[in-house]
Each structure stands twice: as structure tokens, then as C-alpha cells.
A = this chain, B = another copy of it.
Amino acid sequence: MARDITRRDLFKAAKVTGAAVLGGAVITSVNSFAGRDGVAGFPWTYKKVDPDTAALRAYNGCFEAGCMFGAFEGVIGTLAEEHGEPFSSFPRAMMSYGGEGIAGWGTVCGTLNGTAAAVSLFVTGDARKAIIDELFNWFIQTPLPVFVPKEPKHNFEIKPKRPGSPLCHISISNSDYLFSEKELSERCLRLAADVSARAAVLLNSWLEGEFTAATMLMQETNDCLSCHDDGRKAPKARTKMNCVDCHPQDLMK
């Protein structure tokens, strides 16, 4: 890439072309890493989860103990109910720590933390990374939530909007509900349902050897990473988040 092209030029070009540098790869290999002293039978054997079942269980679980618990519960709680062990012995309630970006800190969205944790019980290595990448990219770029419960906890119409970021704070700030506690709560309950269902879909396709990434890293991020990727040309950025969320002024240089 020519060094005299500015970052702003790259940004504009990206908007026009809509092209993406990183393609999705079909990755189904499993790395059998089992931890320092090994845990027999890890990773666990996944069994198919019905996405609609996951969604409803996540919705109710989120209402009960927060978004990370709900999203995890949608997949692992369903497996526990339908198949028993080893799922039923997992202390699922621990996942309630991740609500509101971990104890209210607004870091990673609990629905992503919870589903990444769930995926990680079954999938390791490059395949796990590919599935988590797909979950995160889909989450960022998709107007959410789309799940509509038959018996809503709070009876509002919730307008889907792109979360734009895997961070709770930014995702919530991109919603329309910063002044309405109950509407925001309903938005996040439904988000947990959507993300848990999506994780089930991805795990189901991975189980069948048919997982492919449907989304890609945002073009703006790719443009920045084209220099900030390996720490040779510029400091390594070490993120896949959308750079302009926190560095908009840099694009003006």
C-alpha cells in the first residue's frame, strides 16, 4: 500500500467500495488443547440446540440474572435440560457476573461474553476464533434486537438498531433508550435472545461441518489495521473494534 495515501483517503475509499480485505474462511478443525493439567473430555461434545428454544431461554434468563447469564443459559441451559450431564453440573449461575459489561463497567457486552464462553466449551483453536469473530461482526453490523417475545417482560415496541460495537457502553449508547430504563431493559433482554439464538445457529452449522463466516470485519477497521496490524509500520492496534468510535479525529489528518 502506498505510504502517501492518508488514512482519511482510505476511509473514504472504503465507504465507496464497501470492499473488505479479510474474507471469511471455512474452518472446522478442532485444537484439542485441554489446559495445563488436562480435564478429561475437554472440549465437550456439542449437541444441536434449537435457536428458538435458546432465544426464549436467554430472554427469561437475562431477566433473571443479567445478559451474560441469559445468553449463556440459552445454549448451555437448554443442553442441560435436554441432555443432563455434563451440562447440568456446570455452575451456570456464575455467568451473572458479566451483566452490563461486567458488574456495570460497560466493557464487553454480556451477551457476547456469555456466548463466547458457551462456544468455548465445545470449540477450540482457529475454529473457535472464527465463530467468535462471526458472532461479534454480526452483532456489530446487524440491526438488533429482532426477537419479539409472546409474553414480554416490558410491553414496548423495540426499534432494531446496529449496536456498532461489542462494548456494552457503546452498544447501549447507539440504542434509542438512554432515558428509559424499562425500554432499555427490554431491548437488552431481546438482544440476549438474538445473540444466544445466533450462537446456536453457528454451533449447529459448525457441528455439521458447514460453518462459514457470513460477515467480515468492518471496512473502516480494516483500513486502520492495514498499517496498525503487526507493529512494523505503526503501533500494533490489537483490536478488531471500530477505530472511529474513539478516534474520529485521526481520520481528519
Contact = CB atoms under 8 A, between A and B. Distances in A.
Contacts of A239: 101, 104-106, 168-169
Interface in A220-243: 231, 235-241
A205 interface: no
Interface stretch (A21-29, A45-53, A128-136, A147-155): A128-136
Contacts of A65: 33, 35-36
Nearest to A64: B36
Nearest to A249: B249
Interface stretch (A172-180, A195-203, A206-214): A172-180
B236 A93 contact: no
A102 B76 CA distance: 19
A81 interface: yes
Given A43-B93, A120-B97, A124-B96, A106 B238 contact: yes
B73 A98 contact: no
B42 A104 contact: no
A181 B107 contact: no
**Copies of chain A in the complex:** 2
Contact of A91 (B44, B104, B136, B168): B44
A43 B60 CA distance: 21
Contacts of A105: 108, 132, 136, 166, 239-241
Contacts of A235: 173, 178-179
A92 B36 CA distance: 9
A167 interface: yes
A69 interface: yes
Contact of A240 (B39, B81, B106, B238): B106
Interface in A65-123: 65, 69, 73, 77, 80-81, 86, 88-98, 100-108, 112-113, 116-117, 119-121
Interface of A: 33-37, 39, 42-44, 60-61, 64-65, 69, 73, 77, 80-81, 86, 88-98, 100-108, 112-113, 116-117, 119-121, 124, 128-129, 132-133, 136, 166-169, 172-173, 178-181, 231, 235-241, 245-246, 249
16 contacts: A39-B90, A39-B91, A43-B94, A97-B132, A103-B128, A103-B132, A103-B133, A104-B238, A105-B132, A106-B238, A106-B241, A168-B238, A168-B239, A169-B237, A178-B231, A179-B235
